[in-house]
Amino acid sequence: MTSDVTTPEVATTPTAQVTQLEQSLWQKFARPEQSSDFYHSWLALQCNQISHCLRGVLVLGELDTGPYAPAAYWPEGRGGSSPLANLAEQALAERRGLVLKYEMPGLDSNSASRHGVAFPIQVDGRLHGVVAVEVAPRQQAELQAVMRQLQWSAGWLDSHFRKQQASKDNALHQRVLVAIDLMASSLEQEDYGGAVKNFVTELATQLGCERVSFGFLKRGHAHVETLSHSAQFGKQMNLIRAIASAMDEAMDQQAIVQYPQPPDSEILVTREHEQLAAQHGAGTILTIPLFRYGRVYAAVCFERPAGKVFDLQTIELSRSVSSVVGPVLEEKRKNDRWLAQKAIDALRLQLARLFGPQYMLRKLFAFVVTGLLVFFYLATGQYSIKADTVLEGSVQRVIVAPFEGYVAEAITRAGDVVKAGDVLCTLDDRDLRLERLKWSSQRAQLSKQYDEAMAKRDRAQINIVNAQIAQADAQLALLDEQLTRTRITAPFSGLIISGDLSQSLGVSVRRGEQLFKIAPLDTYRILLKVNERDINDVAIDQQGELVLSSMPEKLFTFRVKRITPVSTAEEGENYFRVEAQLLELAYPANPDMERLRPGMEGAGKIKVDERKLIWIWTRDIVNWMRLWVWRWLP
């Protein structure tokens, strides 16, 4: 490391003459070989310029966080004192200059008194460390001069730190440029093979290596993908095995392995690297494992001739470039695989995540899905066919007009509950009574004619009159019967489900015209509209359950009695009419039966058998898909 500080010329006059020691310090300060030389020479120069300075210490560490440790002592070979260390710690904690007077233990009272002066070293508001000196007792003005001396001289440290940072930034900038260039050249290649070959060749050229090898971790071992400057890669089997073993050695230790190892480096296993160097003539070997998502996935092996070692800057450049370009090559390799291989690798990855550590949500989801599949496979339920239902009476009786006439009185209408013999309505009987009076008078005349013929013993007239009397009697009997039928009564107890003559008084009716429809309230039948896709599962005597819209809290049971083989179309669907019989007890044994009325609608379920729940829930969509696929098949 160099510095812009120039060594001052040695004056020839006695007042400007400097000692040989000061010249040595200025030389180290101006051209330090390493940072420790700069720190020691800087501290020594400051302490020499402070009169009656007894000792000094320079403490440095990580920015703002520490830990902080002494970087230089003055005089050399002499450590600091406990009071001076406490003063330095206090100045670090408070981030301001401090002056403290204290007594040194173990000395006489005349020489035990000391002054400590500490000043924190900050660059752009960030704490680098502290410099502290111990001086002989003096006046306040002289202590202020010492503080100013430390404050002014701290600028040299500021400049030194900034140069170090600039050097790091420049090195980082160079690494970034090289990494971007190599990544761009790799991305320009269409396939993975060309990209990886271009990468290792460019990297060997940039770093001056005899050979650079790149390999991925496959099934627990390194697999060398390519070598730089090698056209016959597949024929160098011994070399490939040796390089793969060296990569395995670095990846197993998850550390950068350099052979020969630097004296002050961490001790690592380098047996495979040593064999690679011995068998294939490499003088210096550097293997860098690459990490992704916390795991090793590849390695890069650099080989140089003997005597050309890898310095720290080159190692950092190699690591940075490999870390940036490695994922790009990994993605290209994955994209160039066959589709079947991608599917297998994806399945293997998901299984590893499922049965390996972490990924708790994935494991929980798989556990829930597995539990559901087992449940659906083992669980069974009642398979039922759903259908809309209508409640009807088991018998429906139609009441018609017995003869032509006029409605005289409407006593009941639809919705009324009637008993057997209750009058439903009456027809006007005036015409019938007049007709009966006519025939009665005519019969009386015929009776007189009969008596006259008997008196005259006229047999022919007697027979004629006798026949006319019989005719009159028949007409009277017919009229009496019709008069009886003018009161239309209920044939049995039940509910009038249709017919309302209350708004039709005086309206003429024809013989046989429907007036009312009555259904009994003690026996019912159920009509179910079963969709055509479910009709094959319906059979006679199957039982089911019914819930009516007006009585959702009550469940009724029924048995299938008849299946009509003719379908009807409603709302775009085809339905079959299925008749069923209620199995409930009649009223009054079952009070709920009294609440039933013909015409009530609801929903019914015809129980078929026990089947898998998954089959029951997916049956409709599966059948629909089968039909859809069949339609599109050639």
Among 30-39, 152-161, 462-471, 583-592, where is mean pLDDT lowest?
Answer: 583-592
CATH class of the domain comprising 189-336? alpha beta
pLDDT at residue 512, as a whole number:
86
Letter for the amino acid at 249? E
- CATH for 20-168? 3.30.450.40
pLDDT at residue 6, rounded to an integer: 36
Query: Which DSSP string corresponds to 296-339?
Result: EEEEEEEEE-TT----HHHHHHHHHHHHHHHHHHHHHHHHTS-H
Condensed to tens digits (0 to 9), the pLDDT of residues 285-329 reads 899 898 887 888 889 999 988 878 888 877 887 887 888 788 888
**pLDDT band (50, 70, 90) for residue 593:** confident
In the prediction, which pLDDT does 607 show?
92
What percent of the chain stands above pLDDT 70?
91
CA pair distance 608, 619, nearest whole angstrom: 14
pLDDT for residue 7 is more than 60: no
Q: pTM of the prediction?
A: 0.47
Q: Cα(346)–Cα(356) distance, rounded to whole angstroms?
A: 15
List, for residues 540-559, the tens digit of each pLDDT value: 999 999 999 988 888 889 99
Mean pLDDT calculated for residue range 557-563: 91
Of the candidates 120, 121, 115, 119, the residue with the CA atom closest to the CA atom of residue 141: 115
| pLDDT tens-place string over residues 11-41 | 333 334 445 666 667 766 767 777 777 888 8
What pLDDT is stored for residue 9 in this prediction? Answer: 38
Fold of 397-517: OB fold (Dihydrolipoamide Acetyltransferase, E2P) (2.40.50)
Supply the pLDDT for residue 107: 58
Calculate mean pLDDT across residues 416-437. Answer: 85
Cα gap 17→618, rounded to integer Å = 104
| Residue 226: other Cβ atoms inside 10 A | 21
Task: Give me the architecture of the 520-632 domain, per CATH.
Answer: Beta Barrel (2.40)
Lowest-pLDDT range of 3-7, 87-91, 246-250, 301-305:
3-7
Mean pLDDT in residue range 462-484: 85
pLDDT at 510 over 80: yes
For residue 111, pLDDT over 80 is answered with: no
Chain centroid to Cα 288, Å, comes to 38
Instruction: Indicate whether 184 pLDDT > 60.
Output: yes
pLDDT of residue 349: 81
pLDDT higher at 292 or 529? 529
Over 90: is that where the pLDDT of 83 sits? no
Shared fold status for 20-168 and 189-336: yes
* In the predicted structure, residue 530 carries a pLDDT above the cut 70: yes
* pLDDT value for 106: 60
CB-CB contact of 58 with 70 (8 Å): yes
User: Which is it for strands 514-519 and 397-400: parallel, antiparallel or unpaired?
Assistant: antiparallel
Dihedrals phi, psi of 58, to nearest 5 degrees: -115, 120
* Predicted confidence band of residue 146 (pLDDT cuts 50, 70, 90): confident
Confidence of residue 619 (pLDDT cuts 50, 70, 90): confident
Confidence of residue 587 (pLDDT cuts 50, 70, 90): low
Q: Which of 100-104, 256-260, 565-569 has the highest mean pLDDT?
A: 256-260
In percent, the amount of the chain with pLDDT more than 90 equals 8
Residue 31 or residue 614, greater confidence: 614
Helix, strand, or coil here: 73?
strand
Asked if pLDDT for residue 149 goes beyond 90, the answer is no
Sequence ranges of the domains in the chain: 20-168, 189-336, 397-517, 520-632
- Label residues 483-510 b or e (16+ Cβ within 10 Å = b): eebbebbbeeebbbbbbebeeeeeeebe
The pLDDT assigned to 232 comes to 55
Residue 20 has a pLDDT of: 60
**How many Å apart are CA 163 and CA 38, to the nearest integer?**
13
Put the strands of the sheet holding 211-218 in their side by side order: 221-227, 211-218, 295-304, 284-292, 257-259
- Cβ atoms of 497 and 414 closer than 8 Å: yes
Instruction: Kindly list the distances between the CA atom of residue 499 and the CA atoms of 239, 426, 505, in Å, as whole numbers in the listed order.
Output: 107, 14, 13
Q: Work out the mean pLDDT of the chain and round it to a whole number.
A: 82
| Beta sheet of 405-410, edge-to-edge order | 487-489, 423-427, 405-410, 508-509
The whole-number average pLDDT for the span 84-94 is 86
pLDDT in tens, 333-354: 888 878 888 888 888 888 888 8
pLDDT, position 69? 86
